[in-house]
Structure 1
Amino acid sequence: MGTKMLNMSALNLESECKEIHDSWGQLNQLGLALASRTRLERQQIRETYKAIYGEDLANRLQKADQMADNRKQAAAGVGVSPKLCAALSMWMIEQHERDAIMIQEALDDQQGDTNYSALVEIFVGRKSSQILLIKQAYQRRFRRQLDQDIIHIEPPHPYQKILVALVASHKAHQADISQHIAQSDARRLYETGEGSSGPIEAVVLEILSKRSIPQLKLTFSCYKHIYGHEYTEYLKTRNSGEFENAMKTVVQCIYRPATYFATILYASIKGSMTDKGALARVMVNRAEVDMDEIRREFKRQHGIELRDALCDSDKIPFGDYRDFLVALTASK
């Protein structure tokens, strides 16, 4: 299967789905081809495959991921990479479905800890309408209320309060962005932070719960303009507790997402991330959002192209999974 874009006519869709079906077990070319597909094209391929073969392609990839470590299958010589199957199954589903699954995995991390970074990335990076779709998908798939699952995270953690505030912000914020509100909020952050030795938690959570992500981004921009440095610099110099440390991550993700994700990718590529799912999560989730910005920031920070860093990494096994990740760096 070639990677060149094709006109998604019914004939082409049927032909591609037949190629996918007939070449199962040799997923490298499939990964390279699908990496170049737009969201709409992937949706068309998924729908056509199900119409022809009666099986959801994303579900089949997920099953292949679960079977890939089976010794009998390995002995039979079936070349299925579990990492590629997992990444492809996430790539093939709609964003809100993907987010719902990633949230559930973050809440029920295999290491027994809640993956707060993954949760923050999703709630900060989605619009209010998208959060509603995520909640609906989460309830359909897991038969639980997302808000309640966040509220009842155990043991309690400051990230939990921040996430609850962000969930509230998606319900309550105004659509318009106000320079006046941003300046006022920036001053409140200063007056309860650098301008005072008191606790910052109540004011920060109030602002997070009432403002949209674009409004918060403008607030942090105003903070730097008024006071000459970023809010995260204050958080670094403060006698940091868990709340301040959590806020550093949240502010960076809101204010400088390309910098945040470039840092996550570099650490993942070098193998210094304890969050082993971060590499695939970021590559799949940001491929159609801001990959160009992330690539530029990665090059600025580390003096190497992202695709070259992926290819040169001794922490990412050579083969189809690496090829797929490299192909995603070129996604628009």
Structure 2
Amino acid sequence: MATKITISPILSSENVCKEIHDSWGSLNHLVPSLASLSGLQRKQIREEYMTMYGEDLLLHLRNTHRNQTEVSAEICAAAALSMLILNPNERDAIVSREALEQSDINYKALIEIFVGRKSSHVALIQQAYQTRFRRLLDQDIITIEPPNPYKKILMALAASHKAHHADVSQHIAKCDARRLYQTGEGRSGAVDESVVLEILSKRSISQLKQTFSCYKLIYGHNYTKSFKTDNHGEFGEALKTVVKCIYNPPKYYAKTLYASLKGKTTDKGALARVMVSRAEVDMDEIQRVFRKKYGIELKDAICENIPSGDYRDFLVALATKTTNLA
């Protein structure tokens, strides 16, 4: 029996479930209400909704606007709420599958998962992927055609998550930083892909982050700085995305959100994906970086660039919640 959780002094979990069930035509105020809950609270409400109505809450949200033919704010809100209510492993499994099924594979979405999740979570994501789609995530990445730099990097990161890593080593970080320099900007020509892929496949994300920190300490600039002036080709561009996501996640996500809000990216799902996945991880830090870099609060940027409605209310609710919810 699930432990009862008090949602708020006003709204009990039973009332929330009832209001959701009665909201076939509109999500209205339920959008910010659900978005403001913690992951544990949403899990409890999903279980209670099933007990009360014998239906998965996700199916309700997905079917609420099933008969509408045009993409509207309500459809976007329902889709985003569906993402939010899923447990993180299910959500990442679905995001991975959708990324792989696009005509132009969404490599950024895949990179964010393999870089931004602990190894133990990646294993659970792979299990959820196999359970839901009867396929192996690693195998689907291996069979990507045609071969490209992102595929090589994703395969290396997948291998890294399977290895057992010790605590972060400063010595290894310094050695790896020097190897990256010697096989990159420290010589003429493009970066040595084999060395980079070897390091990516054998080091944890925390270890890689330390390596890039050591690189900046030793050489006085970020590892990706040389990519801006030298011709590193497609591999260099892919590597730059990965390194930025590893080295400074809040800055990476702040830039991703800004590009999405301003329509400067073809990654249409990035806005909801990032807001949902980072809401209870580092949204406070992302907002701090966003404010410093662009001179505006994230919630204000959302209000300026997203039409009023359920979807905007949902995004604002995520932007204003704290990241220390369980």
TM-score computed with the length of structure 1 as normaliser: 0.91
Instruction: Find the counterpart in structure 1 of residue 312 from structure 2.
Output: 322
- Secondary structure of residue in 1 paired with 2:320: coil
Which has the higher relative contact order, 1 or 2, with Cα contacts under 8 A spaced 6 or more apart?
2
Instruction: Find the counterpart in structure 2 of residue 194 from structure 1.
Output: 185
Structure 2 counterparts to residues 298-313 of structure 1, below 5 A: 298-313=290-305
**1:138 aligned onto 2:134:** no
Deviation (angstroms), 1:70: 7.0
Deviation (angstroms), 1:14: 2.0
In 2, are the aligned partners of 1:68 and 1:81 still within 8 Å (CA)?
no
Unaligned runs of 5+ in 2: none
Deviation (angstroms), 1:8: 7.4
Give the direction of change, closer, same or farther, for the CA distance of 1:182–1:70 in structure 2 (3 Å limit): closer
Q: Following the alignment from structure 1 to structure 2, what is the Cα–Cα distance between the partners of residues 168 and 229?
A: 28
Instruction: Find the counterpart in structure 2 of residue 75 from structure 1.
Output: none
- Secondary structure of residue in 1 paired with 2:147: coil
Q: Following the alignment from structure 2 to structure 1, what is the Cα–Cα distance between the partners of residues 29 and 166?
A: 43
Instruction: Find the counterpart in structure 2 of residue 267 from structure 1.
Output: 259
Deviation (angstroms), 1:128: 0.6
TM-score computed with the length of structure 2 as normaliser: 0.93
Q: Following the alignment from structure 1 to structure 2, what is the Cα–Cα distance between the partners of residues 187 and 288?
A: 35
Deviation (angstroms), 1:69: 2.5
Deviation (angstroms), 1:113: 0.7
Structure 2 counterparts to residues 74-223 of structure 1, below 5 A: 81-109=74-102, 112-197=103-188, 199-223=191-215
- Secondary structure of residue in 1 paired with 2:55: coil
Q: Following the alignment from structure 1 to structure 2, what is the Cα–Cα distance between the partners of residues 62 and 98?
A: 14
**1:254 aligned onto 2:254:** no
Instruction: Find the counterpart in structure 2 of residue 74 from structure 1.
Output: none
Name the stretch that deviates more: 173-182 or 116-125: 173-182
Q: Following the alignment from structure 2 to structure 1, what is the Cα–Cα distance between the partners of residues 65 and 143?
A: 30
Output the amino acid matched with 1:83: C
In 1, are the aligned partners of 2:6 and 2:13 still within 8 Å (CA)?
no
Output the amino acid matched with 1:102: V
Query: Structure 1, residues 124-158: CA drift from partner, whole Å, max 9, x if none?
Result: 00001100110000001111011100000112111
Query: Structure 1, residues 80-124: CA drift from partner, whole Å, max 9, x if none?
Result: 811001000000010000000000000011xx1100011101110
In 1, are the aligned partners of 2:7 and 2:37 still within 8 Å (CA)?
no
Query: Structure 1, residues 196-224: CA drift from partner, whole Å, max 9, x if none?
Result: 22541000000000001011000000000
Instruction: Find the counterpart in structure 2 of residue 233 from structure 1.
Output: 225
Name the stretch that deviates more: 216-225 or 19-28: 19-28
Q: Following the alignment from structure 1 to structure 2, what is the Cα–Cα distance between the partners of residues 15 and 231?
A: 52
Output the amino acid matched with 1:128: S
Aligned length: 316
Give % identity. Answer: 63
Moved over 3 A (4+): 5-9, 65-68
Q: Following the alignment from structure 2 to structure 1, what is the Cα–Cα distance between the partners of residues 220 and 162?
A: 32
Instruction: Find the counterpart in structure 2 of residue 52 from structure 1.
Output: 52
Q: Following the alignment from structure 2 to structure 1, what is the Cα–Cα distance between the partners of residues 283 and 149?
A: 30
Q: Following the alignment from structure 1 to structure 2, what is the Cα–Cα distance between the partners of residues 308 and 108?
A: 33
Unaligned runs of 5+ in 1: 72-78
Instruction: Find the counterpart in structure 1 of residue 31 from structure 2.
Output: 31
Q: Following the alignment from structure 1 to structure 2, what is the Cα–Cα distance between the partners of residues 115 and 196?
A: 32
**1:280 aligned onto 2:283:** no
Query: Structure 1, residues 225-276: CA drift from partner, whole Å, max 9, x if none?
Result: 0000000102222212000000000000000111111111111111121111
Output the amino acid matched with 1:103: S
In 1, are the aligned partners of 2:73 and 2:311 still within 8 Å (CA)?
no
- Secondary structure of residue in 2 paired with 1:81: helix
Query: Structure 1, residues 158-180: CA drift from partner, whole Å, max 9, x if none?
Result: 10000000000001141411111
